[in-house]
Each structure stands twice: as C-alpha cells, then as structure tokens.
Amino acid sequence: MQREPHLTNAALLARRQAAIPRGVGQSHPIFIARGENAEIWDVEGRRFVDFAGGIAVLNTGHRHPAVIAAVKEQLDRYTHTCFQVVAYEPYVELAERLNAKAPGNFAKKTIFLTTGAEAVENAIKIARVHTGRSGLICFGGGYHGRTLLTLAMTGKVAPYKTGFGPFPAEVFHATFPNALHGITVDESMASVEAIFKNDIEAARVAAIIIEPIQGEGGFNVAPPELLQRLRALCDAHGILLIADEVQTGAGRTGTWLAVEQSGVAPDLITMAKSMAGGFPISAVVGRAEVMDAAAGERGSGPLLLRADGKQMDRRAATRVVVRLANKAAIKKHISPHSLRHAFVTACLDAGVPLRDVQIAARHSDPRMTTRYDRARGNLDRHANYIVVDFIEGPA
C-alpha cells in the first residue's frame, strides 16, 4: 500500500467521507501518524495529549514496550490456529492468571473472545444455559455494546438504538442510582422489584448485569450498597450477577476490577478494551460450574450422553438415555434438532461406525417418550433424565 508523502488532515478527511459510511463516527478531525505513551502526533506533525485512549483501551498507553515486545515475539512463532482446533499454551496461561485475579473464593474458568460485545453476549448465553431462564435485567444509562442483543441491553436510545429496532425480547431496565438526580439505592432496588411485579417473575430471570461504573450513562459509580444488595437479591432468586468490566477493568479504577472495591464477587465478569493494551481480545471470567454449563462431550451442550447398547440397526428404534449435567438444565427447552445431535453423539461415543450413524440420523425421527410435555416443551423439573426413542421415519 502506497501512502502520500505529504498528508494533511483535511485531505484525509475528504477521502474518509468518500470511502467510509457516515455511521462510523469520528470525534476529532485529525489523523494519527504515531503514538507514544499518553501522546499522539497527527499527520501534520502536531502533538496532542491523548485523554481518550481509544475509549478506555489504552490504560498502559500507546505502544507500551512490554506489549510491543510480546507481540513481536509471537509473530515469529504463529498467528492463528483457532484454539478449538489446535490449542496453544498462552491461552491457558492467560486464563489461569485472570481466574486468579477475579474476586470470589471459588473455582473459576475463563474464555476468550474478540470484542466487548462478544464477551457480553457470551456471558448472557452462559447465564441462560446455566439457569434455564431467559430474562435479563440491565440498568438505565448502561452501555453493553452495539450488536442487536447488547443494544437491547444498553439503556440509552440516542445515539445507539435509534432506527435499529425491534430488539430481542425479555430485556428489562431498572433505575441506576444517581445522587445528582436524587435517585437512591432504595429506589433503584425498588425498580428491580417492580420489574418482578410488572414485567417478568424472578424465577424466569437468568441474570442481572451491571457496570460498576457507568461510562455512557455519565460516569455514575454504583454504590457498594447497591452491588451488595443485588448480590443478596440474586442469591435469593437463583439469578446470576454479571459485572460488565469492559470499560472499568484492567486497573482503570485502582484495582484490577472495579467490583473488587465493593466486596462483591459476581458470578460472571466481562472484560475487554485495556486488558490487551490496544489489541483486540475480550474475556468472560466466572464460576467454574457456571462456565461449564455451556460445554459438554463433543460440543453437545449441557447434556451428558450414554447410548443403551453398543450396536444399532438403522431399521430399528434406538433408545438413548439423555442425562442432564445439572439441575438447571432440566428446565431448558430441548428441541428435536438438539436431540438428533445428542443421538448422533451418543452413538459415536458407543462405538457405532460413523457411516451407520449418519444413515440412522437421516432416517430417524426423535420421539420423546418419558417426562416430556410436548405442548409446553419443558422437562419435568423433578426428573434428572429423559428417555428418547429414535423411531424409523421417512427418508
């Protein structure tokens, strides 16, 4: 790629307007040429103090020597394999370090993603599969990302949500306390209780997610009392508490995570932005048993599978016992598609030849015969397994 030798901000701005959609905003009409620690120089040689830091991405400054050295060393080894295909030790090491830093006297596990919105969406997926519930409670003024789900969770219409609806359902917003506007912690907690009364019962809420300090909402600090009372409320109703630390994490508030200052241990924590010193990586850190809810044998989700019998004839019914990994999964809807996947996985685990499994899967129709309500699609809460008969169906 060739660059003009004498660039100006005005010329680049004209090229930008012609090549890039208006939806990609730009706060300042300058273009960076280089950055060093807390300073940047534009293409015209002017020097600026950078108070934005890529919107909370550069807690360690531009081009921190340790970060740059680590990246250069890695580039000489390998760039990408997809960890799920070929794993690598740095992923494991970083997970171990984040697990150790997260608050809470319990076992933790971590997954890595690319962006803050991805981290939030995956935290919600994990919460839903662990609890078997769908509802989410967020806070007015909160910001969680710009994907459709995270926009629904964001408690601020302009400039983010205007024109992009409809948004995913069962996302509700409580009131965030604000001393400036006279909103107390009691009023905030009352707004959560109002959601339970008017919108969704507590037994269907998977998670309450909160930023320890709101950014887009006006740099509002969540009082420790609020976080402590939310923790107690979640414990009382079996709801997961998620701390969105995408902007507040990585030492931005004086501790590694802002939530540490409240004495509260969330069930799940989302991180991104400054955790990589300017490079795109995000994470979800959480209770080990919660994080494991979305994983199973051969990627089969929360189901542990066992096939009754070692062999299978595609012309005969095959019975598979589908055992649930945890009680929460009992309340989770299991679709015929996921049961078909469970059937294939169980047969492979039992040693059935792949060709026979593929044939049987194409010609089988799952009929749920035990402890399953066809009309409601919900498992009996008192059962710890279901029996699935895969009966010969049309080709």
**What tokens does 100 get?**
């150790």
Judge if the upstream peptide bond of residue 159 is cis by omega within 30 degrees of 0. yes
Query: In sequence order, which ranges of the chain are alpha helices (DSSP H)?
Result: 9-19, 53-56, 65-75, 89-101, 116-131, 148-153, 185-198, 224-237, 288-291, 327-330, 336-349, 354-362
Query: Per DSSP, what are the bridge partners of residue 244?
Result: 270
Rounded-to-integer distance, Cα 312 and Cα 299, Å: 22
pLDDT at 335: 52
Instruction: Give me the average pLDDT of each 10-residue run along the chain (395 residues).
Output: 77 96 93 97 97 93 94 93 93 97 97 96 97 97 96 94 94 97 97 98 97 93 98 97 97 95 98 93 97 61 26 36 40 50 60 57 46 36 42 40
pLDDT at 6: 75
**What tokens does 383 get?**
């059962």
Integer-rounded Cα radius of gyration of the chain: 25
Find, among 117, 201, 199, the residue nearest to 151 by Cα: 117
- Domains annotated for the chain, with CATH where assigned, are 9-72 (3.90.1150.10), 81-294 (3.40.640.10), 297-392 (no CATH)
pLDDT at 131: 95
Question: Is residue 264 a contact partner of residue 228, using CB atoms and an 8 Å limit?
Answer: yes
Beta-sheet strand order (sheet of 385-392):
303-307, 318-324, 385-392, 364-368
pLDDT at 357: 57
Rounded-to-integer distance, Cα 369 and Cα 389, Å: 7
**What tokens does 2 get?**
């060739």
Strands 32-36 and 39-42: antiparallel
Find, among 125, 243, 226, the residue nearest to 175 by Cα: 226
Beta-sheet strand order (sheet of 240-244):
108-113, 282-287, 268-271, 240-244, 205-210, 135-139, 171-174
| Residue 367 DSSP symbol | E
**What tokens does 156 get?**
């601020």
pTM score of the predicted model: 0.75
The residue behind tokens 């120089």 is 41
- For the residues of 377-391, what is the DSSP string, one character each? TEE-TT-SEEEEEEE
| Residue 336 DSSP symbol | H
pLDDT digits (tens, 9 = 90+) for 126-159: 999 999 999 999 999 999 999 999 999 999 999 9
pLDDT at 353: 61
| Residue 113 DSSP symbol | E
pLDDT at 217: 87
